[in-house]
Amino acid sequence: MDLNLNDDEQAEAIKKWWRENGRAVVLGVVIGLSVVVGVRYWFHYTKDQSNDASIIYSQIEKAMANNEAEVILEKGQELVSNFSNTSYAVMAGLIMAKVELEAGKPDLAKDRLQWVISNGNEELQHTARLRLARLLLDSDNVKEADALIAGIKSAGYAAAYEELRADIALANGNTTQARELYRLALAGANGPRREFLQMKIDDISVANTAVAE
């Protein structure tokens, strides 16, 4: 604004500017307030969702301690249906898969694990993918198990993936590849798992010796 204008001229200039820009200013203020209100609403909504989900999940933990499979499945499904955007629902999915498998329902367990892969964070996705691949392998669906973990890498789960790939190679009759993969898994394993992997390597050596004789 020109400071050399007199009071009347300045007032007229302000009116003109408002006529040209007032609607945009009001719209900007409305949008800004809407964003603030929306963010606050979403924060409180997600907080309430998480609190409600945690209560249901605690009921699942209690049911697990009491071996109440029906309660676990009921409460788990409630989490998946109504609180699918929370980590509690994803963790419940893993638990339900275990319950379904123990009940002799592998197909339902597979569906649960696939849901976790599609909805979980990276860590839970790896957990579910490994379990599903193991379940497929145990069901003689070797190709599906192999395809599920093809190209998947994770520093935190490297040993588990290498061991599973070795099991798949062994199922396909490729003992040489299996032995090398077991060795890779052994290099990244800790604790009792190392002894178990060494046993698998030794078993291959024994089998190969028997065949040679």
Same domain, 190 and 117: no
Separation CA 81–CA 85 (nearest Å): 10
Answer with the one of 134, 151, 168 that is the final residue of a domain: 151
Answer with the one of 151, 185, 205 that is the final residue of a domain: 151
- Split into its structural domains, the chain has a count of 2
Same domain, 87 and 144: yes
Which two three-digit tokens encode residue 121? 């964070």
Question: 92 is in which domain, residue-wise?
Answer: 67-151
Query: Position of tokens 């409460």?
Result: 75
CB atoms within 10 A of CB 108: 16
With respect to residue 7, please indicate whether it lies within any of the assigned structural domains: no
Query: Position of tokens 């789960």?
Result: 157
Question: Could you tell me if 56 and 75 are in contact, meaning their C-beta atoms sit under 8 angstroms apart?
Answer: yes
Same domain, 137 and 162: no
Same domain, 133 and 173: no
Longest dimension (CA), the chain: 112
Answer with the one of 103, 119, 151 that is the final residue of a domain: 151
Same domain, 75 and 133: yes
Q: What angle do CA 115, 121, 126 make, to 5 degrees?
A: 75
Same domain, 84 and 144: yes
Q: What angle do CA 100, 118, 112 make, to 5 degrees?
A: 5
With respect to residue 141, please indicate whether it lies within any of the assigned structural domains: yes
Which two three-digit tokens encode residue 76? 């788990």
Same domain, 116 and 130: yes
With respect to residue 89, please indicate whether it lies within any of the assigned structural domains: yes
Residues recorded for the chain:
213
Q: Which residues lie below 8 Å from residue 25, measured CB to CB, with a gap of 6+?
A: none
With respect to residue 206, please indicate whether it lies within any of the assigned structural domains: yes
DSSP of 144-167:
HHHHHHTT---GGGHHHHHHHHHH
Cα 45 to Cα 23, 79, 84, 85, 90: the distances in Å are: 32, 16, 14, 12, 19
DSSP of 38-90:
HHHHHHHHHHHHHHHHHHHHHHHHHHHHTT-HHHHHHHHHHHHHH-TTSHHHH
Residues (pLDDT < 70) of the chain are: 1-14, 17-18, 22, 25-49, 208-213
The model's pTM: 0.75
Own/partner pairs, 141-144, CB within 8 angstroms, 24+ separation: 142/168, 142/171, 142/172
